[in-house]
Structure formats: C-alpha cells, structure tokens
C-alpha cells in the first residue's frame, strides 16, 4: 500500500505543507488509515484557531406606549417592564420603543392610520418576537394595526383600564395586565379620617381612558350605597377648577389627569395640574395611581405602574420559556400598593402633616420597588391616622392603640 499523504491548511499554509512534506513516510498498511484520520483531527485542533462560540441573538421586542417618553406613568410602566427583562439570565433583549403621545394629540382613527403608515415604513423588514404596549390607546392601535405591520406576533399589554376590550382579545395572540383603580379600599382609608363622610368627588381629564375608569368606578360604587359621587372631568384646567370650586364636598379622588391643558392650550404637567387642584379649595385629595403622589396628595390605595409593567414582562418571559399564550390569560387584579402619608387633623379634617416627605418624582420613590423588595422609607405608625408608609403591597396594619375600636376594625377588614 502506498504511504498516506495528508494536506493541512491553516493560517500559514506554506509552513504547514512544508512541515508535512518533511515528515518521514510510514507505511502502516490498512490499519494505518484510522490512525492517520485521528492524527489529522488532532492536528486541526492544535493548529487551527479555535472558533468562538457565538452568543445567542437577543430577543427583538417592539414597544409602543400610549403617552410620551417622559410622562411619569409611562416611565413607571416601562421601567418595570425593563427591570424584569434585564433580570432574565437566560437571554438578552433588543427593545425598540415608540410613543403615540396621545395625552397631547388625542387618539382618533385618522391619527391611528397616520402612525400605522409611519411605523410600516420605518420598520420595513423588521420582525419582533413580541410586542409590548401600555394603556388603552396603544392596545387599541395594536388590535387595529399591528397585526398588519407585524403579522402573527403576540402582544403583551399593561395599564389597560377598559375591561370591555376583553371580547376583542384573541387568547392565542394577546395577553397582559389590566389596571383597575379600585375606589372601595380608598373609601375605607377615607373613613379612617372622617367616618361619616357620604359625598365624594371623582376628578379626571375627560379622555377615553378617563371614561373607562369612570365606568368601572360607577360599577363599584353600586356596591357602596352609602356613598354619593360627583364626577368632574374637563379638558381645560380653568373649567375643571371652576367646577371644583362650586362643590362643597371636600374629599377628592384623582383618576387620570395627563391630558388637561392650560388657558393657552398647552398640555400641563402633572405637578401643575395636581397643584391647581390642591389649591382650588379645602380638599382632602386621594390618588388612585402612584404617578400622582405629588405634594398636597394625602395618599391612597394606588395602582403600581412599575409592577404592572413588570407583570407584563413576566408573562412574556413565561411565553418565551415555552408556555402557550392560551395558558397565560390576562391578569385582571392589577398590582397595587398602599401609599400612606402623615397627616394632621383639624376642625375640617385631614391635611398632610408639616415636615412630611415630599412625594417627588414617582420613578425615584422607594414605593416603586418591585414586590418583595424592602423600602428604605418605612416609618413607625403615627396616631391618629394611617399606619406607617411602608411602600409595600400589603394593606394597612392595625392602627395605634388609642384609635377607636370601630376604626381599628375597618383597618383590619382591609387586610382580608
């Protein structure tokens, strides 16, 4: 049998060929073939540079928010969503975000068609693995347009107030987290301050989102026969304030306020709108969402934007891990927390206490921590009034011993 000849090619082919040609020939017979093959593989492993192991490509995710990038509510939802994605050790994510900015522009079918045309052109050739949207306008846009732009891509939502949209949700393609602003627990907090109150004001910005919230609150108030509610909504701050000043009711509950404009037509910031409401009269102001906890707002049992966004990301991760979308129905009991601030009592009721920590930017408060994380802002109970501001999901702990027994009983009922 002729001696076997093997040609090795590497980064320096001339040297490899020369080296092989200078090696002595060995006639191993037929049994030498396996040996030579093994030697060749060994040579390849030693001489050729090792090929780097390619990391898995990040998961492309398209994000569409209803409002602007700097709107506090949107920041909270987005930060919660990203925190949960960034905690995923199994994969990375490539997130592309867009904003409808409907607190400024409003949302109409014509506007939806305009934005759909822009996104179709901008994202030509791009296909995400999943879509995430926040609030009602973005979900409405997704149901109408995104299946044409990104066919058959699953949609995950958070912060949606309109429960009436449920029949339109294809369980094989759409799931997410609803936002329910519950007034019942807030009425219990109110009764801790003034047990005999029977009238309240519910305030909003007259948008589609506000109408959805008002509808849900009216349904809940049907189970509160002792409460009479006046609903006040307006697109302009001067109209809203004029109607507030005409009321004798002192307990005000905030819903959604981001679309209110000033006298010159400019959309006001939340601190401007809430500041005007607080100054409009001798009101005790409660919030039903965490983005509205600005100075002058006593607190409330509020929805948590970061936790809603995080819950939506949790559904997305479970789907990527292999669970079918049909096994991940929408979460209807939206994540919430209790925000309580110290207050002082006077002849006419409660006010935030002097020296109370300002609410500040909602995205920076300890109360925005995800479930299970301790809050650095915990306080000891102060009597009379709410328990300490723990920033937790839990409902109120028992009030101080000097509180009346019936009021302690109502606090205990909140924990049930």
Q: For residue 139, is it within any domain?
A: yes
Indicate whether 64 and 194 sit together in one domain.
Answer: no
Of 54, 71, 87, the domain-final residue: 54
> Could you report the per-residue pLDDT of 35-87, keeping only the tens digit for each?
556 666 565 555 555 444 446 899 999 999 999 999 999 999 999 999 999 99
Same domain for 177 and 280, yes or no, is no
* Boundary residue ending a domain (284, 315, 346): 315
* 44 shares its domain with 26: yes
Cα angle 344, 304, 237; round to 5: 65
Q: Among 315, 348, 370, which residue terminates a domain?
A: 315
Higher pLDDT, residue 10 or 32 = 32
Domain count, the chain: 3
Q: For the stretch 313-351, what's the b/e string if a residue is b when 16 or more beta carbons lie within 10 angstroms of its beta carbon? A: bbbbbebbeeeebeebebbeebbbbbbbbbbeeeeebbb
Residues 198 and 297 in one domain: yes
pLDDT, residue 15, reads 46
pLDDT of 405 strictly over 70? no
Examine the domain organization and report whether 201 and 220 are in the same domain.
yes
Q: How many CB atoms lie within 10 A of CB 220?
A: 16
Q: Are 134 and 307 in contact (CB under 8 A)?
A: no
**175 plus 188 within the same structural domain:** no
User: Is residue 146's pLDDT more than 50?
Assistant: yes
Regarding whether 208 and 174 lie in a shared domain, the answer is no
Per-residue model confidence (pLDDT) at position 2: 46
Cis amide linkage into residue 185, ω under 30° from 0: no
Predicted confidence at residue 298, as pLDDT, reads: 84
What pLDDT sits at residue 43? 58
Round to whole Å and give the CA distance between 406 and 408. Answer: 5
CATH number at residue 298: 3.40.50.2300
pLDDT value of residue 196: 86
Residues 125 and 271 in one domain: no
Q: Kindly state whether residues 16 and 64 are assigned to the same domain.
A: no
Separation in Å, CA 135 to CA 237, 291, 358: 23, 14, 27
Query: In this structure, is residue 324 part of a structural domain?
Result: no
Q: Distance (Å, rounded) from C-alpha 235 to C-alpha 103? A: 10
Q: What is the pLDDT of residue 128?
A: 98
Cα(102)–Cα(302) distance, integer angstroms: 23
pLDDT value of position 130: 98
Could you read off the pLDDT of 91-112 as tens digits, one per residue? 999 999 999 999 999 999 999 9
For 163-215, write each residue's pLDDT tens digit: 999 999 999 999 999 998 888 888 988 888 888 889 999 999 999 999 999 99
d(CA 15, CA 153): 54
Question: In terms of Cα–Cα distance, which of 125, 113, 124, 119 is closest to 64?
Answer: 119
Closest by Cα among 86, 39, 96 to 64: 96
Q: What is the pLDDT of residue 302?
A: 86
397/304 Cα distance (integer angstroms): 19
Q: Is residue 326 included in any domain, yes or no?
A: no
Residue 159 has pLDDT above 80, yes or no: yes
Would you say residue 109 lies in a domain?
yes
Q: Residue 325 domain-assigned?
A: no
pLDDT at site 183? 87
Residues 234 and 159 both lie in one domain? no
- What is the pLDDT, as a whole number, of residue 303? 87
- DSSP reduced 3-state for 347: coil
Based on the domain organization, do 198 and 69 belong to the same domain?
no
pLDDT at residue number 334? 74
Backbone phi and psi for residue 197, each to the nearest 5 degrees, phi listed first: -70, 135
By the 8 A CB rule, do 142 and 133 touch? Answer: yes
**Which residue range forms the structural domain that includes residue 49?**
1-54
Q: Residue 34 has what pLDDT?
A: 58
In a domain, 331, yes or no: no
| Domain-embedded: residue 322 | no
Residue 321 lies in a domain: no
Do 164 and 208 lie in one domain? The reply is no
pLDDT in tens, 358-372: 333 333 333 332 233
Report if pTM > 0.75.
Answer: no
Task: Name which residue leads in pLDDT, 38 or 288.
Answer: 288
Handedness of CA 99, 102, 107, 113 (dihedral sign): negative
Query: Which tokens go with 257?
Result: 């306020």
Q: How confident is the model at residue 391 (pLDDT cuts 50, 70, 90)?
A: very low
């Amino acid at each position: 049998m002729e001696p076997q000849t093997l040609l090795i090619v590497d980064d320096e082919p001339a040297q490899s060929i020369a080296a092989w040609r200078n090696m002595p020939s060995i006639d191993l017979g037929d049994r030498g073939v396996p040996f030579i093959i093994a030697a060749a593989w060994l040579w390849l492993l030693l001489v050729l540079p090792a090929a780097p192991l390619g990391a898995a490509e990040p998961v492309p995710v398209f994000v569409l928010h209803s409002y602007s990038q700097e709107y506090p509510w949107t920041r909270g939802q987005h930060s919660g969503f990203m925190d949960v994605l960034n905690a995923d050790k199994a994969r990375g994510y490539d997130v592309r975000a867009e904003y409808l900015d409907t607190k400024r522009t409003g949302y109409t079918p014509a506007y939806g068609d305009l934005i759909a045309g822009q996104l179709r052109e901008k994202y030509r050739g791009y296909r995400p693995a999943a879509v995430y949207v926040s609030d009602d306008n973005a979900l409405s846009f997704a149901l109408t347009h995104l299946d044409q732009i990104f066919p058959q891509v699953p949609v995950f939502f958070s912060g949606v107030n309109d429960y009436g949209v449920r029949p339109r949700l294809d369980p094989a393609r759409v799931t997410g987290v609803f936002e329910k602003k519950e007034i019942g627990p807030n009425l219990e907090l109110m009764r801790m301050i003034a047990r005999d109150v029977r009238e309240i004001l519910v305030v909003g910005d007259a948008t589609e989102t506000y109408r959805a919230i008002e509808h849900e609150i009216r349904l809940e108030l049907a189970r509160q026969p002792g409460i009479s509610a006046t609903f006040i909504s307006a697109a302009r701050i001067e109209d809203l304030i004029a109607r507030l000043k005409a009321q004798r009711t002192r307990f005000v509950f905030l819903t959604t306020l981001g679309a209110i404009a000033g006298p010159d037509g400019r959309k006001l910031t939340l601190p401007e709108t809430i500041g005007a409401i607080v100054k409009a009269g001798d009101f005790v102001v409660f919030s039903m969402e965490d983005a509205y906890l600005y100075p002058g707002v006593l607190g409330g049992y509020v929805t948590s934007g970061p936790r809603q966004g995080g819950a939506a990301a949790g559904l997305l991760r479970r789907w990527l891990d292999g669970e079918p979308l049909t096994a991940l129905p929408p979460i209807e009991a939206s994540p919430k927390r209790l925000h309580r601030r110290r207050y002082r009592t006077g002849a006419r009721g409660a006010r935030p206490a002097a020296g109370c920590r300002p609410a500040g930017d909602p995205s920076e408060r300890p109360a925005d921590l995800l479930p299970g994380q301790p809050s650095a802002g915990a306080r000891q109970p102060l009597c009379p009034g709410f328990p300490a501001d723990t920033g937790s999901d839990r409902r109120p702990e028992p009030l101080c011993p000097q509180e009346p027994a019936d009021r302690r009983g109502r606090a205990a009922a909140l924990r049930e």
